[in-house]
Amino acid sequence: MAEPILTARGLTKRYGRVTALDNCDFDLYPGEILAVIGDNGAGKSTLIKALCGAVTPDEGEITLEGKTVNFANPMQARDAGIETVYQNLALSPALSIADNMFMGREIRKPGIMGSVFRMLDRAAMEKVARDKLTELGLMTIQNIGQAVETLSGGQRQGVAVARAAAFGSKVVIMDEPTAALGVKESRRVLELILDVKKRGLPIILISHNMPHVFEVADRVHIHRLGKRLCVIDPKKHTMSDAVAYMTGAKVPEEVMA
């Protein structure tokens, strides 16, 4: 296998007396979909937050394409090409769809209007936003200028996913992307995940939905008690194996060996 694109070694994060990450390792290879599963409180969220810059680990090292990175905030991770869809979506409800998609990386008008008067290029941003949402098949939205709070839960999810897919250049992280969606929207998001993969971008997928995980993932990272318990091939293991491993009902062979 090729060199991993994103790795973590010995990540540790403590909140007071609670250890969320305990000397945790992580590897993501180019062009793959890696699912991360684990029981509630296993430390999945903290792992993901460390990878996307929302949390700074106490110890350990993260490397992106072989270079050590230290993200102080999500902006730095984004600039490095890691794009994240958060479970709470991280959208501003009162702002429009286009505003939200370009939050923090707005396009300014060309020429003096943009450079001196800092004027935003609304038309360009709305066009990109509309294109991305159409690509996603999520254009049941009537008006691209409407506030995000007027959208349904599935549509909001679509906006968040479209934002990540549009801007991610190295890695896309998706935290429970189908949790709030109906059957049809879930299917679209899964198709989108495979589309993104086809474009050569690796994806980290955090999900509790075993059928979805086993359908799209190339490898499954099982998280337990703050560290990586094992990585399994979904074609060689069953869903009940995975559930047994992550809940501690069964110990995987690699670990026993």
Partner 1 sequence: MSQPQEFEKVLSGSASSVAHFEEGRSPLQRLQHFLHSNPAMVPLIVLVVLVVFFGIAKGEKFFSAYTLTLIMQQVAVVGILAAAQTLVVLTAGIDLAIGVIMVFAFVIMGNAVLHYGMPAPIAIVMGFAMAGFWGWVNGFLVSKLKLPPFIVTLGTWNVVMAICLIYSANETLREADLTAITGWLHFYGLNFKVGKAVVTLGVVAMILLYVALWYMLNNTAFGRHIYAVGDDMDAAELSGIRTSRVLIGTYALAGLIAGLAAWVSIGRNGSISPSTVVTDYNLQAITATVIGGISLFGGRGSILGVLFGTLIVGVMSMGLNMMNADPQWKVLLTGVLIIGAVAVDQWIRKVSG
Decide if residue 44 touches partner 1 (CB under 8 A): no
Distance between CA atoms of residues 108 and 124, nearest Å:
9
Q: Contact with partner 1 (CB under 8 A): which of 14, 30, 69, 90?
A: 90
Pick between residue 143 and residue 247 the one whose CB is nearest to partner 1: 143
Q: Contact with partner 1 (CB under 8 A): which of 103, 123, 249, 255?
A: 103
Q: Taking CB under 8 A as the rule, which mask of x and - marks residues 154-173 in contact with partner 1?
A: --------------------
Transcribe 159-186 into DSSP letters.
HHHHHHHHH-SSEEEEESTTTT--HHHH
Distance between CA atoms of residues 139 and 129, nearest Å:
10
Cβ contact 221:231 at 8 Å = yes
SS3 70: coil
Decide if residue 248 touches partner 1 (CB under 8 A): no
Decide if residue 34 touches partner 1 (CB under 8 A): no
Decide if residue 190 touches partner 1 (CB under 8 A): yes
Cβ contact 78:171 at 8 Å = no
Distance between CA atoms of residues 96 and 64, nearest Å:
33
Question: 96 - beta bridge partners?
Answer: 147
Decide if residue 112 touches partner 1 (CB under 8 A): no
Question: Which range binds partner 1 by CB under 8 A, 37-45, 95-103, 217-225, 239-247?
Answer: 95-103
Distance between CA atoms of residues 176 and 157, nearest Å:
10
CB of 224 to partner 1, least distance (A): 26
Decide if residue 71 touches partner 1 (CB under 8 A): no
Positions in the binding site for partner 1 (CB under 8 A) = 54, 73-75, 78, 84, 86, 88-95, 99-100, 103-106, 108, 117-120, 122, 139-140, 142, 147, 149-150, 183-184, 187, 190-191, 194, 211, 215-216
